[in-house]
Structure 1
Amino acid sequence: MDIRHFRYFLAVAQQRNFTRAAEVLGIAPPTLSRQVQDLEAELGVRLFVREQRQVSLTQAGEALLPEAQATVSQFERAGRHAQRAGRGETGHIELGYVASAVYSGVLQRQVQGFCRESAEVSISVREAPMANLPTMVAEGRFDIGYVRSPMALPDGVEAVRLNAEGFVLALAADAWLARLKVISPEHLQNETFVLPEQISGTLQVARQGGFAPRLGPQPGGLVAVIALVSLGQGVAVVPASVVGHIHLPGVVYRPIEGCDVMSWLSLIHRRFEKSAAVARYIEHARCDFRLHEMAPRD
């Protein structure tokens, strides 16, 4: 006895006629009759009273009817749930990010867009230190993560390149540099650099200026970096998206003349991802970025 027998039983119970039930099921009437007889033999009871033109349920058939309906319904629901999970429409995602993903707006746009499309996939979103995030993805503590590239990734972790942006200089409003109309990399050779988590911008600006940078503290997130700048602890080379999002007393932002240094956000993930929901998010991020890049700029 399997789910097929219950489907056949329900068709006959609904149509009250073997021929019509066989047409609905797309099988021959003798086949349907034999399958119902097999079910009756398995249960040891008669389910139908067979008359010349129609059939009616016996007491045993009446008792089986709601149970068979519930069983078939549960079977179909289980199948649909498995199919949806296989398509990534249900599940859970652990997502880590660095602060600059928030300042750029990419994190908000992609997470909210995915949640609208896949409402039954739950997402836990947490900020994490950028130095640790790739390893946490590799070890499975996060499924995906937004980091600022370029940066080294452990084996088994890949990156989807997203939006690129340049750098600006954060400095104290009363610093001598703030009085210059144009700040070039060469002007920074005697400055102490407060370091964000992604230091490639600082190193490349110093390389363009032809000097070895004097490296100061590396306090962590960008708010902490700008806080130290406001306290006169040095200058900082930070992503341009910070401008307009982090406002602290005594801090100004200036472009760096001739600086073509770029960084970009990346979505990192395990190379051989098994979760369909995570794979669905990765594809959503790719599509979202392509659409955003093609959108006309004001």
Structure 2
Amino acid sequence: MEIRHFRYFLEVARQRNFTRAAEQLGIATPTLSRQIQDMEQALGTRLFVRQQREISLTEAGAALVREAEATVRQFELAQRSAQRAGRGDTGHIELGYVASAVYSGVLQKQVQGFSREHPDITLSLHESPMASLPSLIAEGRFDIGYVRSPMNLPEGVEAVRLDAEGFVLALSSDSWLRRLPEISVEHLQNETFILPEQINGTLQVAADGGYAPTLGPQPGGLLAVIALVSLGQGVAVVPESVVGHLSLPNVLYRPIKGSSGSSWLSLIHRRFEKAPAVTRYIERALQAFRRTL
């Protein structure tokens, strides 16, 4: 039997008349009668007692009504669920991000805005090392990632540029640099640079100053970087958005005169993404960002 047999049966049970039921279903009465006969033959029992003007349910038919209604409801629910998932109204997204996406506020705005518009799509959020995020997306373990660009991406993963910002210098409050009215790229020539995951800012500062930088440890996320700065292990070139959002004892933030460097957050995803919920997130994130330009 197919789902149409249950629908035909239920309409006959409601109308108690084959002609009226056939009209409601939009099929010929003989066709409906044959479908019910096929159903009875498959079940090995009669479902209706046929009388001249009206029909009534047998005991087997009455028992089937409840199950047939539940079956049709479940089938229709499955159809609607599949259609909603196909439109991207439901689904699940695995999202990875680096800490600076939080400090900039971009992650909060985009995730919260998307969740308000699509409450039936669930998001699992994971702070992850920036170096591993692109490969996690390429392998399908994450769907979307927020990273700080520029960076090399594996084949099949592309980046969409979001907000850009400059760099500031994080330094210990014990550093001699704090006494300067302004800190230029030349003043940093003999400093040890604690390296964040994105080192382009450090390299650009050194290039602007015309020297090779003394590179210190690269401890991981921005909190670990600032922690080493607070311990007097060196200075660090970090995104401006860190200021006011990441405060540790013994740490100051100062502008860097003569620095032309900048970085930007990027949304990275698989180039030929097919999942409707994921593509909907990407489209919505881009639209939201363009409205802020």
TM-score with structure 1 setting the length = 0.90
Which runs of at least 4 in structure 1 moved beyond 6 Å after TM superposition? none
- Secondary structure class of the residue paired with 1:107: helix
Match of 2:156 in 1: 156
Map of 1:172 onto structure 2: 172
Q: Distance in 2 between matches of 1:218 and 1:96?
A: 21
Q: Does 1:261 align with 2:261?
A: yes
Task: Indicate the SS of the match to 1:100.
Answer: helix
State the 1:149 CA deviation. 0.4
Structure 2 distance, partners of 1:75, 1:131, is 45
Q: Which residue of 2 aligns with 1:120?
A: 120
Query: Which residue number in structure 1 is paired with residue 211 of structure 2?
Result: 211
Q: Which runs of 5+ in 1 are unaligned?
A: none
- Say if 2:192 and 2:233, in contact at 8 Å, map to a contact too: yes
Aligned position for 2:39? 39
| Deviation, structure 1 residue 103 | 0.7
The C-alpha deviation readout for 1:141-194, integer Å capped at 9, x for no partner, is 322221100000111111122211111111122433222233222222222211
1:75 Cα deviation from its structure 2 partner:
1.4
Partners of 2:143 and 2:269 within 8 A in 1: yes
Partner of 2:196: 196
Equivalent residue for 1:105?
A: 105
Does 1:94 pair with 2:125?
A: no
* Superposition deviation, residue 201 in structure 1: 0.7
**Letter of the aligned partner of 1:40 in structure 2?**
E
Q: Match of 2:286, SS?
A: helix
1:123 counterpart SS class? strand
1:228 is aligned to 228
What TM-score, normalized to structure 2? 0.91
- Correspondence for 1:238: 238
Alpha carbon RMSD of aligned pairs, Å?
A: 2.0
Partner residue, 1:5 = 5
| Structure 2 residues not aligned, in runs of 5+ | none
Q: Supply the AA of the counterpart residue of 2:157.
A: V
> How far did residue 252 of structure 1 move?
1.3
Indicate the residue corresponding to 1:271 in structure 2: 271
1:69 offset after TM fit, Å?
Answer: 1.0
Identity %: 74
Listed as ranges, the matches of 1:22-37 within 5 Å are 22-37=22-37
Instruction: Output one character per residue of 1:43-83: Cα deviation in whole Å (capped at 9) or x when no partner.
Output: 33332233344322122211221121121112112222222
Q: Give the letter aligned to residue 273 of structure 1.
A: E
Report deviation, 1:99.
0.9
Q: Which secondary structure does the structure 2 equivalent of 1:224 belong to?
A: helix
For 1:32, give the aligned amino acid.
L
Aligned positions of 1:13-28 closer than 5 A? 13-28=13-28
Q: Is the 8 A contact 2:208 2:260 kept in 1?
A: no
Amino acid aligned to 1:284:
R
Report the Cα distance in structure 2 between the residues aligned to 1:63 and 1:27, rounded to whole angstroms. Answer: 25
The whole-number CA distance in structure 1 between the counterparts of 2:208 and 2:178 is 20
